[in-house]
Structure 1
Amino acid sequence: MNASQESDADKRGQALSAQRFQMVKDIANELASGDVVFPTSFDAAFRLRQALQDPELPIARISSIVSLEPLVATKLLQLANSALYQARGAPAVDLKAAITRLGIKLVRTTALAIAMRQLMRSKDLAIFSDLATALWKHSLKTAAATRALASVHTRINQDEALLAGLVHDLGAFYMLYRAAQYPELCVRPDSMRFLIMQWHESIGVSLLGALGMPEEIVNATIDHDQPRPAPETIQTLADIVYIGNILAGTHFEWLHQEVNPNAGEIELYRKRFADLLPEIESDAQEMQTVFS
């Protein structure tokens, strides 16, 4: 490499570093002000979730609210009749029957899952499509794992655990969406891996808080990728998210493809919960079918 090429490379490297720093700074300012900007499709589905916050809403009112979002309504019917939730007997043939079967917590979670899927498919994330797709699949598999762990090993509500697993990496989704506004990051999509590794957890916690997610969900996502002593028994939602994230693949499975999935702590957890792995895999595939 001649001196001119070295100078150009240095300039590009400096520009990349500057835009990395600027993006993190801009996101921090947005979260501090509460001015979080998402695509219209995400906002619409999230507003639906907010409208359903009252646990005492009658089924008829929930149905009328949900019916205003045809995509959410369609997915609720599909989910209610999927292998994940279909009860014995007749299938749910209308929205009221689907909501009755699923419950309001799962209706809210479904709205959020659809919002995340719409975000992933937005044109803003096209340059990062490989990362976004891997992240989406990892989020669904973690949700399947947290649901199974809660159901089999704790008395924690499995729908709450599913929600925590689904949103545990929402900070990474948001970083990918925001990165589209920085040219140096767009032309070097692999550079986002390093940035996400460093910041997605803390940004995710602040983002979930800014979006008004329940405190127990926000707290459960804190340091979910940071190694910790293995609990002898699963006692908290944070334990469920931590272990579910591991069972979904590895820490940062979608970032570190070179990580040995059977190494160290990961191998121990997969052996300990081996009986759940087929169910997790099957449920994750079912979720992909429903939400795709």
Structure 2
Amino acid sequence: MSILQYADKTPDQLHDQRLSMLIDIAKELEDEVIFPTCFDASVQISTVMKSKTASLQRIAHEIQKDPLITAKLLQLANSVAYKRAGNNVADLDSALMRVGMETARATALACALQQLVRSRELTQFEGIANKLWIHSLKTSMIARVIAQRLTRVNPELAMLAGLVHDLGAFYMLDRAAHYPELVERPTTVEFLVAQWHESVGVILLDSLSMPEEIIDAVREVDQPRPFIENPRNLSDVVYLANLFAGGFAEMQRLDIPELAEPKELSYAKYTDLRAEMDQACQEMISLF
């Protein structure tokens, strides 16, 4: 079918197409969630980490099955953000000890998201997918900085939560690629993603055995909140990180009445960390 034929669709027909996709996604999520194949390694690593008896060696063995994840973890362990006393590590066990389990899981998921963004299926949504990808990387590192500098929240948990806070958006893009009428209307898809990705994401995170604390933290992260003078928990950290990674633009797509720019974006406590945030973001982006 040609683009001209898609242009002949009536508003009601387009509405039905959008509704059809949402219904199909809802049915998929009612059963066992099927992730794109690039998530296989991440799902398996998450399954092993869920086990209370899993040893460091068993986790390392599972990670070593994927050379890309192994390489990224070693690079991250030797990055400025993690390297201590100038000593490099050359083995996976040492890298895991240095970065922690949550960062290892975040790295595995980051590799999966990177492969998804570059997949043939998302070629039609390349612009949207790349923006989401960069935004997710930035949110993860800004969350780490805020947690480390201003709270008692575990920085590695904050990093993982920041990375996956828009997981539902990637999943929806992957599914939208199967609807030709929507492929021809990326603006419509972007609107659907903005409206529904949080609900979808919560179900996906549960399927990946993410800690309940993370699932709670990413709920309604794109909804404006009362001014946060002192971040106290993981939810506050992810909300702030999302803002400083460009999340206000996401809020503006939600048709929120009388939406004003959040005061946090000009609050000295946070803006004083800008340079550190930017450095951490650039380092993570260069890693991928």
Whether the TM-score (by the shorter chain) exceeds 0.5 is: yes
1:237 matched residue in structure 2: 234
Structure 1 position 62, deviation (Å): 2.6
Amino acid aligned to 1:208: L
Structure 1 position 26, deviation (Å): 1.1
Structure 1 position 186, deviation (Å): 0.7
**Structure 2 residue 11 is matched with structure 1 residue 28:** no
CA distance in 2, matches of 1:55, 1:73: 22
1:16 matched residue in structure 2: 14
2:98 matched residue in structure 1: 101
2:257 matched residue in structure 1: none
Amino acid aligned to 2:25: I
1:128 matched residue in structure 2: 125
CA distance in 2, matches of 1:41, 1:148: 29
Structure 1 position 55, deviation (Å): 5.9
CA deviations on 1:18-52 (whole Å, 9 max, x unpaired) are: 2111111111121122x322221112222223222
Structure 1 position 158, deviation (Å): 0.4
CA distance in 1, matches of 2:169, 2:156: 22
Task: Give 3-state SS (helix, strand or coil) of 2:186's partner.
Answer: coil
1:111 matched residue in structure 2: 108
Task: Give 3-state SS (helix, strand or coil) of 2:33's partner.
Answer: coil
Contact 2:243 2:265 in 1 (8 A): no
- Judged with a 3 Å threshold, the aligned counterparts in structure 2 of structure 1 residues 147 and 136 are, in CA distance, closer, same or farther, namely same
Contact 1:77 1:92 in 2 (8 A): yes
CA distance in 1, matches of 2:148, 2:176: 37
Counterparts of 1:76-225 in structure 2, within 5 Å, are 76-225=73-222
- Judged with a 3 Å threshold, the aligned counterparts in structure 2 of structure 1 residues 38 and 255 are, in CA distance, closer, same or farther, namely farther
1:68 matched residue in structure 2: 65
CA distance in 2, matches of 1:184, 1:206: 26
Using the TM superposition, name which of 12-21 and 86-95 deviates more: 12-21
Task: Give 3-state SS (helix, strand or coil) of 1:249's partner.
Answer: helix
CA distance in 2, matches of 1:268, 1:189: 29
Amino acid aligned to 2:12: Q
Contact 1:80 1:98 in 2 (8 A): yes
Contact 1:55 1:104 in 2 (8 A): no
Between the aligned residues of both structures, percent identity stands at 46
Structure 1 position 145, deviation (Å): 1.2
Task: Give 3-state SS (helix, strand or coil) of 2:133's partner.
Answer: helix
Contact 2:227 2:263 in 1 (8 A): no
Contact 2:137 2:284 in 1 (8 A): yes
- Judged with a 3 Å threshold, the aligned counterparts in structure 2 of structure 1 residues 89 and 191 are, in CA distance, closer, same or farther, namely same
Task: Give 3-state SS (helix, strand or coil) of 1:160's partner.
Answer: helix
2:41 matched residue in structure 1: 44
CA deviations on 1:232-273 (whole Å, 9 max, x unpaired) are: 3211111111111111123245986xxxxxx73156445441
Contact 1:164 1:217 in 2 (8 A): yes
CA distance in 2, matches of 1:273, 1:241: 13
- Judged with a 3 Å threshold, the aligned counterparts in structure 2 of structure 1 residues 41 and 264 are, in CA distance, closer, same or farther, namely closer
* Uncovered stretches (5+) of structure 2, i.e. residues with no partner: 254-259
CA deviations on 1:83-121 (whole Å, 9 max, x unpaired) are: 121111421112222122112222122111111112211
TM-score (norm 1): 0.88
Contact 2:42 2:105 in 1 (8 A): no
Amino acid aligned to 1:165: G
**Structure 2 residue 270 is matched with structure 1 residue 273:** yes
Contact 1:135 1:254 in 2 (8 A): no
Using the TM superposition, name which of 162-171 and 60-69 deviates more: 60-69
CA distance in 1, matches of 2:207, 2:48: 16
Using the TM superposition, name which of 169-178 and 7-16 deviates more: 7-16
- Judged with a 3 Å threshold, the aligned counterparts in structure 2 of structure 1 residues 206 and 62 are, in CA distance, closer, same or farther, namely closer
2:55 matched residue in structure 1: 58
